[in-house]
């Protein structure tokens, strides 16, 4: 009888027909409600900024790969997703040349120099946003007036305005995005719809966004903060649904995802409540991205009958 060779490979061993392109297309679809909302709120400038960042991200990825004589992966739509998320972290008033710098940092520095998709240590759009925030703080906080008929606070985000938004119309303003802020943090309804789509299509796991948002809600309630304001303003929803769930920079175990989400919520609240800046999502995400390998190692399943793999 002819012997058969057993081929030993690394897990996972269960596969399906999901592709990177399909997952990234789902993320693009989920981002469309926020793109439409930002266009209605801030005008055509929102479309222009998004178009420039997407084109710059795709262009930088293609150019880098051609120069380095590597396969050009722009067809997987990962650069498109990075461009859209980066745009959603920028105000509508951002000069386009600054947006292009952010795209260069995201694609070339944060992604390609570390080996491309699957090897980046942090979310590329997140790193691009942080570099721009540090280097061009004035430009990054120059918020436009929302082009709506609802009275709005445009000179500052709701987290900065604080009690100025108190009143019966606060929830309506937060849900519809009638206030100052970056493109992707204003309309909470659009972000929630996108998050529901991602969970319904099993593009992301609900563990991270629910544990993240839930932790912020609990800590806000315990520490006497306005829960509605903390949940529906700032970059919490954008970060929870679209940035914290990045496949490369988030844990792959269920326990790890819960730990990751809870830690994100704790760090975000510490920065918001006790730090010098109202928004803490970006820096919480960057810190936790760096800790993901350790979370994976501590929460991976112990082999049956043996010690935990090292």
Which helix (H) or strand (E) is 172 found in, with range? Answer: helix 170-176
- CA torsion angle for 53, 257, 192, 117 (degrees, to 10)? 20
CB 271 within 8 A of CB 283: yes
pLDDT in tens, the chain (310 residues): 455 555 555 445 545 567 888 899 999 999 999 999 999 888 899 999 999 999 999 999 999 999 999 998 888 899 999 999 999 999 999 999 999 999 999 999 999 998 888 888 899 999 999 999 999 988 888 877 665 444 444 445 666 655 555 555 777 777 777 777 788 887 899 999 999 999 999 999 999 999 999 999 999 999 999 898 889 888 899 999 999 999 889 999 999 999 999 999 999 999 999 987 767 899 999 999 999 999 999 988 665 555 555 5
Per DSSP, which regions of 119-251 are E strands? none
């Amino acid at each position: 009888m002819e012997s058969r060779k057993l081929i030993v490979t690394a897990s996972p061993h269960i596969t399906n027909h999901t592709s990177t392109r399909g997952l990234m297309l789902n993320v693009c679809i989920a981002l469309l409600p926020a793109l439409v909302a930002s266009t209605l709120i801030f005008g055509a400038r929102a479309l222009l900024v998004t178009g420039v960042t997407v084109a710059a991200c795709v262009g930088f990825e293609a150019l880098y790969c051609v120069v380095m004589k590597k396969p050009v992966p722009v067809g997987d739509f990962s650069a498109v997703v990075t461009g859209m998320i980066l745009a959603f972290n920028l105000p509508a008033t951002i000069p386009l040349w600054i947006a292009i710098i952010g795209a260069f940092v995201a694609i070339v520095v944060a992604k390609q120099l570390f080996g491309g998709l699957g090897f980046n240590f942090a979310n590329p759009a997140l790193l691009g946003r942080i570099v721009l925030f540090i280097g061009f703080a004035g430009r990054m906080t120059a918020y436009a007036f929302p082009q709506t008929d609802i009275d709005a606070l445009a000179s500052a985000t709701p987290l900065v305005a604080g009690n100025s938004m108190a009143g019966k119309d606060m929830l309506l303003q937060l849900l519809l995005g009638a206030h100052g802020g970056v493109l992707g943090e204003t309309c909470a309804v659009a972000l929630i719809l996108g998050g529901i789509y991602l969970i319904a299509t099993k593009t992301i796991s609900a563990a991270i966004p629910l544990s993240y948002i839930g932790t912020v809600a609990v800590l806000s309630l315990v520490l006497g903060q306005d829960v509605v304001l903390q949940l529906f303003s700032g970059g919490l929803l954008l970060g929870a649904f679209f940035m914290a769930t990045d496949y490369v920079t988030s844990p792959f175990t269920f326990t790890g995802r819960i730990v990751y989400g809870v830690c994100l919520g704790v760090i975000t609240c510490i920065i918001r409540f006790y730090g010098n800046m109202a928004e803490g999502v970006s820096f919480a995400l960057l810190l936790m991205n760096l800790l993901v390998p350790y979370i994976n190692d501590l929460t991976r399943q112990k082999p049956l009958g043996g010690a935990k793999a090292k």
